[in-house]
Amino acid sequence: MAETRLTKEQMEAKAAQPGIDAMRLHPFYKGKVEVVPKCVVRDFSDFAIWYTPGVAKPCLDIKANPEKVFEHTNKGNFVAVLTDGTRVLGLGDIGPEASMPVMEGKALLFKYLGGVDAFPICIDEKDPDKFIEIGLALQPTFGGFNLEDLSQPKCFHILDTMRARAHIPVWHDDQQGTAAIIFAGLVNAVKFVGKSLQGVKIVLIGAGAANIRAAHVMYKGGVPWENMILLDSKGTLHRGRTELQDDFKEKWELCLITNGDQVKGGIPEAMRGADVVIGASKPGPGVIKPEWVTAMAKDSIVMPCANPVPEIWPWEAKEAGARVVATGRSDFPNQVNNSLGFPGIFRGTLDVMATTITDEMCIAAALELAKVAEDKGLREDYIIPSMNEWEVYPREAVAVGLKAIEQGVARRKLSPEELLKTAEEKIRRAREETHLLMKEGFIVPAPGA
């Protein structure tokens, strides 16, 4: 692992380079997504079809049968990326305008990886109930909502309320997306080391949106509640943490059902004898110490997912005894990356016109994502696919669509073959469209690129 041992200066320079490039390229392109036509415009007479007077006919058809909106418009492929800018990429509450570059980036990933037309909607409203009302009022336009970068604990209230009241799927990527990818990595890592989901002891460092939802997904995926220990900044969650009863109900609920041995203390006490540790806390290094990894069970799994610096460097975890290590960074093996999930999950959701995205649909996507890696052969440095393995996304879409049909939340019922064909065509079209625009000079390279 010597080749990955960069000096502090090298790490700082490497971490700084994307920001330097971003400051050069964002002003050049003035954004990352735009609207382009998808219908023919042979001459100006075609506007009589696409606009007045011809457009009146599909309008009246929709008025008579509202479900026809999916037939006459692109609503079924439109997703709103909704945020208030209160918890942006570790930057915190930077406001809705400053969150726009992130939401545009999300929309770009949606399109290129999933063939989904996503729009950044940055809302100048911090009151969660008002935010909910604004979001719900946008339903006529969109086929789904992706909640993004909302502060906690209101993010739980917003997701739960909108999921209950909306008639289109609502998803919070910082909760469900992160949880799905963590679960995919966990499934394969546990399988690789010869253990079982039912038998492993799991420590989750950080009790925010990501790990709280990950705990729920892992439970539904087969991990007993009592085998999980969560920690926040004050230590382990256990039944004695009564201060959480009124202040943070999601944490308090986990205090009552997790941590079967009622372990008290901090990270070292929780990690002692554990099979798996998952970090979704503050950036490191040093949040997880090597000696704590050494105290874990044999063939331990360490997933320090904080960005930009993991809670412990991968080589430190390996030298301390970890068998498998995964991080949130692309420059180390086994990247736990949300972009492996949401494009394919939404693709499958939209293709069957699902009314919601259930935890079971997330688990179906995670298991299919894990299966992609398993099909190619699991290794210590390959327990989860990477973004450039494009087959991940249509395969996830099929798994999600079939689960939605099975659970009775799909408006359309398609066969596995139909789902795969639909997803592949839409994803391939999005990628080829981008490459064609580059080839023909409509998307031009920046000077010096």
Which residues participate in the annotated binding site for a divalent metal cation? 148-149, 174
Whether 51 is a known active-site residue: answer yes
Element (H, E) at 400: helix 392-406
- What lies within 8 Å, CB to CB, of 238 at 6+ separation is 255, 259, 262, 263, 264
Q: Using CA atoms, how far apart are residues 185 and 183, in angstroms rounded to an integer?
A: 5
Annotated binding site for (S)-malate: 87, 337
**229 φ, ψ (degrees, to nearest 5):** -125, 125
Which 3 state secondary structure label does DSSP give 384?
Answer: coil
Catalytic position from the list 14, 38, 51, 63: 51
Q: For residue 42, how far is the Cα from the chain centroid?
A: 40
CA distances from 331 to 3, 4, 25, 389 (A): 12, 9, 22, 16
Annotated binding site: 87, 148-149, 174, 337
Does residue 310 have a cis peptide bond before it, meaning omega lies within 30 degrees of 0? Answer: no
Which 3 state secondary structure label does DSSP give 437?
Answer: helix
Residue 353 · residue 410 · CB < 8 Å: yes
- What lies within 8 Å, CB to CB, of 222 at 6+ separation is 197, 198
The residue type at 115? G
Catalytic position from the list 106, 111, 154, 426: 106
117-122 vs 144-147, strand pairing mode? unpaired
Here the tokens at position 392 are: 């991940």
Here the tokens at position 348 are: 């499958």
Q: CA angle, 358 as apex, 125 and 225 as ends, to 5°?
A: 100
Q: Which residues are catalytic?
A: 51, 106
